[in-house]
Amino acid sequence: MEPLDYRPPDTPLDVIHADHEIVLVNKPAGLLSVPGKGAHLADCLLARVQAAFPTALLVHRLDMDTSGVMVFALTPSAQRHLGLQFERRHVNKTYQARVWGEMAEKTGTIDLPLIVDWPNRPRQHVNFETGRPATTDWRVMRIEDGTTRVRLHPLTGRSHQLRVHMKEIGHPILGDPFYAEGPARDFPRLMLHAESLKLRHPDGGMGMLFRAPVPF
């Protein structure tokens, strides 16, 4: 399902790092990672990156409503190298979120299998029979006026994983148009940000850590 009222932010490309093999950028909330169907959905982060780096190739995606660090490859070999890192879960990703309610525990792990909810796609839901394994570690950072700021570490990379997992434990991410309801939904944006990405550089394999400041 494509966004009905797509109004991508008119912000300049925020480049975190660029070299001969990779470019990392800070994706703004409200911008598609890749183009949708139709000319009105052509504006996306991939197109903006390719305007500045013509050889840029897609490696992974973030939800339209999520902001934060994304990596693009600049050569086919770098794309293959990075793709394998994501596939084999050698990439370390951390997110920061604000969620509804005050979480009682300080840390925890959510292990709930997910699959697309076909009648309501792109929504996902928990299904113990046909769902794919999905695991998220979480740690409370602080309580903020009836909400909780948490750091999330997905061990798998399922679509909408963090959003569904937090909803399932009773703490939906603030501003989530799919999984939050009532006052939890009434925020100007989805309060989910890809804060850091740790990977191995395709040229030489050196470990590198990239961060984007949390905008909320």
N- to C-terminal Cα separation, the chain: 27
C-alpha separations of 208 from 17, 32, 39, 84, 196 in Å: 11, 26, 36, 16, 10
C-alpha separations of 85 from 23, 59, 177, 192, 197 in Å: 16, 10, 31, 23, 12
CA distance 41 to 87: 28
Q: Which of 14, 19, 43, 63 is catalytic?
A: 63
Quick check: is 63 catalytic?
yes
DSSP secondary structure letters along 57-98: EE-----TT-EEEEEEESSHHHHHHHHHHHHTT-SEEEEEEE
Q: List the catalytic residues.
A: 63
